Structure 1
Amino acid sequence: MELLRTVKRKSFFSEVVYHLLNISLALALFGITLMVQSPVAAVVLVILSKWRVLAVRPRFWWTNIQSNLVDLIVGLSVVALLYLSVGNIAVQIAFTAFYIIWLVIIKPMSKRWQMMLQSAVAILFGTVALFSIGYLLPDIAVVAGSMVIGYSAARHFLVSYKEDQTVLLSSIWGIMFAEIGWLAYYWTFAYAIPGLTTIKLPQVTIILLLISFLGERVYRSWKKNGAVVRSEIMPPVLFSVAVIGVILLFFNTVTRI
């Protein structure tokens, strides 16, 4: 019994240390943003924070890297958004607070709907950050970044279903993101966000989120019934097509990135 109490105390202590380290990481990124003009140090810190990915035998590295891509995307996106918000301390504090919430609350979640939420967050923050700085990058970098975001988000979601064809389906989703990313590189519009002046919501982010939502509905119907049931997917299909159609037809006269 005393052994069980000791293990419990150690577990609680390790949890506290884990949360404190995560909070320290977010605060460190905030401090670096304020003191250093270049984002290189912040990017390196985020990458180094994933040291445990390689703290195993080399044959497990690739699996660990893939498993941590969603978290890495969110972390690097927060760095980009922090630097894009230089001069607006309130917005930087808000992004730092979100990153703390992500690290302490959202990232450790493991239920299916929670993993779907994590994938959606990666798509949202990843594409906003990518296309906000996309004009500084060559088209191949934006295409590759889009593919990584699509692949990692799809893989993260499919793992929750224990899908046998996770790599194939994730690769297909990544290629689709890459194709849309290539188009968006040359034709990207963005919408103003209240309270933000230097960061806007890219049109492509909305489109990719809607397509991903539709893909999740179709996959869920197929997994549940052994086939795609039209009555289950028609509402999300109509909703997604309608919203995408409206923003493409009537909301292409706003700020262009």
Structure 2
Amino acid sequence: MELLKTVKRRTFWSELVYYVLNIGLAAALLVIAQAFQTPFPALALVVLSKWRIIAVRPRFWWANIQANLVDLTVGIGVVGLMYLPTSVFYFRVALAILYAIWLVVIKPMSKRWQVAMQSLIAIFVGVTALMVVSYEWPVSVVVILMFLIGYSSARHFLHSYDEEQTVLLSAIWGLVFAELGWLSYYWTYSYGKSLFGGVSQVTIILLLFSLVASKAYQSYNKHKAIRFSDISAPVILTIGIILVMLVFLNSVVI
């Protein structure tokens, strides 16, 4: 009985430390964003927070890096949004709170629909931040980072299904992101500049494409064929939203 109590105490204290450290990380990013004009200290903190990636034998490093790419995408994206020229204190506080929720609530989730949600969040935060900060960057850098966002989000989703062709399918999805990233570098529209500095059109398109692709994969995984009844709703939604954006909303340019 005493052993069981000890285990419970250890579990409680380990969980408490987990919450404190993660909430502290989000708070620290807010403090750094207020104190420093350059984003590099905040970026360094996000990277250092993943120290456990290399706290194993080197042969496991690459696997750990890939497994943590989605979390790194969200963390680095939050830093990028905090350092927008239009970011005010209250906006940064909101970002810090959302990041804390990601760390302590959303990231530990493990059900398949929750993993899919995590991938979509990483796409939204990562692509949004990249599009608003990269207007003076070389196009090659944007294309490479878009590939990594697409690859990591697809790998994260497919990993929950134990897919044998995870690397190949993730790389294909990364190429889709890279192609659209290249196009959006030269032709980008955004909506609601008061929100995240403007949500780019390509962010919305990639979210919709990813939703359709995830439903198609789920249908194939279950039935060994893609049933139109399983993907009809997201396909119609995607076509409708893209048509509305292209025909009626192409008026705000980044």
Query: Which band: TM-score by shorter chain?
Result: over 0.9
Pairing 1:110-129 to 2, within 5 Å after superposition: 110-129=110-129
CA distance in 2, matches of 1:164, 1:120: 22
CA distance in 1, matches of 2:202, 2:196: 18
Is the alpha carbon distance of 1:166 and 1:33 closer, same or farther for their aligned partners in structure 2, counting shifts above 3 Å? same
What residue identity is the alignment partner of 2:219?
A: S
Shift of 1:85: 5.8
Supply the RMSD in Å over aligned alpha carbons: 1.3
Pairing 1:78-97 to 2, within 5 Å after superposition: 78-84=78-84, 88-97=88-97
SS at match of 1:136: coil
Q: Deviations over 1:102-161 (max 9, x none)?
A: 111011111111111100100000000000012121101110111111000001100111
Is the alpha carbon distance of 1:227 and 1:105 closer, same or farther for their aligned partners in structure 2, counting shifts above 3 Å? same
Partner in structure 2 of residue 200 of structure 1: 198
Q: Deviations over 1:32-86 (max 9, x none)?
A: 0001000000000000000001100111111111110000000000001111166
Partner in structure 1 of residue 3 of structure 2: 3
Alignment counterpart, residue 244 of structure 1, candidates 230, 242, 245? 242
Q: Deviations over 1:159-215 (max 9, x none)?
A: 11111111110010001100010000000000115xx27710100000000000010
Partner in structure 1 of residue 33 of structure 2: 33
Partner in structure 2 of residue 44 of structure 1: 44
Is the alpha carbon distance of 1:2 and 1:87 closer, same or farther for their aligned partners in structure 2, counting shifts above 3 Å? same
TM-score calculated relative to the size of structure 2 = 0.97
More moved, 28-37 vs 2-11: 2-11
Identity of aligned residues (%): 54
More moved, 86-95 vs 25-34: 86-95
SS at match of 2:66: helix
What residue identity is the alignment partner of 1:67?
A: A
Partner in structure 2 of residue 212 of structure 1: 210
Is the alpha carbon distance of 1:197 and 1:16 closer, same or farther for their aligned partners in structure 2, counting shifts above 3 Å? closer
CA distance in 2, matches of 1:154, 1:219: 11
Give the conservation status (yes or no) of the 8 Å contact 2:86–2:197: no
Pairing 1:169-184 to 2, within 5 Å after superposition: 169-184=169-184
Partner in structure 1 of residue 222 of structure 2: 224
Shift of 1:93: 0.7
Shift of 1:89: 1.3
Is the alpha carbon distance of 1:85 and 1:121 closer, same or farther for their aligned partners in structure 2, counting shifts above 3 Å? farther
CA distance in 2, matches of 1:26, 1:242: 37
Structure 1 outlier segments of 4+, above 2 Å: none
Unaligned runs of 5+ in 2: none
Is the alpha carbon distance of 1:12 and 1:228 closer, same or farther for their aligned partners in structure 2, counting shifts above 3 Å? same
Shift of 1:238: 2.0
What residue identity is the alignment partner of 1:60?
A: F
CA distance in 1, matches of 2:197, 2:88: 11
SS at match of 1:188: coil
CA distance in 1, matches of 2:91, 2:16: 27
Pairing 1:3-22 to 2, within 5 Å after superposition: 3-22=3-22
Partner in structure 2 of residue 67 of structure 1: 67
Give the conservation status (yes or no) of the 8 Å contact 1:142–1:182: yes
TM-score calculated relative to the size of structure 1 = 0.96
Give the conservation status (yes or no) of the 8 Å contact 2:191–2:198: yes
Shift of 1:235: 2.5
CA distance in 1, matches of 2:120, 2:114: 10
Shift of 1:87: 5.3
Is the alpha carbon distance of 1:239 and 1:12 closer, same or farther for their aligned partners in structure 2, counting shifts above 3 Å? same
Is the alpha carbon distance of 1:74 and 1:165 closer, same or farther for their aligned partners in structure 2, counting shifts above 3 Å? same
Shift of 1:233: 1.8
Pairing 1:143-154 to 2, within 5 Å after superposition: 143-154=143-154
Unaligned runs of 5+ in 1: none
SS at match of 2:199: strand
